């Protein structure tokens, strides 16, 4: 969770308003999870990672201005960073949504700032992503999630050298000359 410590996450009762969220109710609260619950959580997390990777490759990156399979990604990196900053400052929305902010099944999901559509997800991908996100967090999918996926895809945490060694720090892939 965001905005509180691991100790606060383990409290039997929410520590304050920042701890009071659906994920805390699902997984926190100082209770032990059964091996079945933990297995389900890890399976959903692995599925979310796989789905996010496929979503990036097949749907989101092709919509990013300046993105190409090979080449200089400076324009795409700048766009992703700028849009994430705008979303955090101005607010971002997803639509269409039903009551409670949930994705409308069978419809594409659009991510927008101030009415400007930035990204769209196909109905199938939107349904899968929102289902997994809901199972893990108990909350509707925020428009920040697809924008963060795009922004973070340009960063690397393990950079392998020709010698086989790697550096375990986070840097923009574009700054390293990494071609995706």
Reduce the DSSP state of residue 33 to 3 states and report it: coil
* Per-residue pLDDT at 20: 57
Higher local confidence (pLDDT), 26 or 126: 126
* Per-residue pLDDT at 149: 84
**What global pTM score does this model have?**
0.70
* Per-residue pLDDT at 173: 43
Closest CA to 139 of 86, 94, 169: 94
Average pLDDT on 85-107 reads: 87
Q: Return d(Cα 89, Cα 91) in angstroms, integer.
A: 6
Q: Return d(Cα 153, Cα 61) in angstroms, integer.
A: 9
* Per-residue pLDDT at 169: 45
pLDDT over 80 at 128, yes or no? yes
* Per-residue pLDDT at 176: 42
What are the backbone dihedrals phi and psi of residue 164, each rounded to the nearest 5 degrees, phi first? 95, -10
pLDDT over 70 at 2, yes or no? no
* Per-residue pLDDT at 177: 42
Strands of the sheet with 116-121, listed across from one edge: 93-95, 109-113, 116-121
Average pLDDT on 103-121 reads: 91
Contacts of residue 3, defined as CB under 8 A and 6 or more positions apart, other chains included, come to 18, 19
What is the residue-averaged pLDDT of the chain?
77
Average pLDDT on 142-168 reads: 70
When mean pLDDT is compared over 6-10, 107-111, 141-145, 161-165, the highest value belongs to 107-111
Residue 174 confidence class, pLDDT cut points 50, 70, 90: very low
């Amino acid at each position: 969770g965001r905005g509180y410590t691991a100790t606060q996450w383990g409290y039997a009762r929410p520590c304050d308003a920042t701890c009071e969220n659906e994920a805390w109710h699902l997984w926190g609260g100082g209770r032990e999870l059964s091996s079945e619950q933990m297995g389900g959580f890890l399976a959903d997390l692995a599925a979310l990672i796989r789905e996010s990777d496929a979503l990036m490759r097949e749907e989101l990156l092709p919509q990013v201005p300046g993105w190409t399979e090979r080449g200089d990604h400076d324009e795409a990196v700048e766009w992703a960073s700028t849009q994430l900053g705008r979303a955090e400052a101005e607010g971002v929305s997803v639509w269409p949504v039903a009551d409670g902010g949930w994705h409308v099944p069978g419809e594409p999901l659009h991510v927008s700032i101030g009415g400007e559509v930035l990204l769209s997800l196909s109905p199938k991908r939107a349904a899968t992503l929102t289902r997994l996100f809901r199972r893990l967090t108990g909350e509707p999918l925020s428009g920040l999630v697809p924008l963060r996926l795009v922004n973070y895809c340009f960063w690397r945490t393990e950079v392998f050298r020709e010698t086989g060694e790697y550096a375990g720090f986070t840097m923009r892939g574009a700054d390293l000359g990494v071609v995706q």
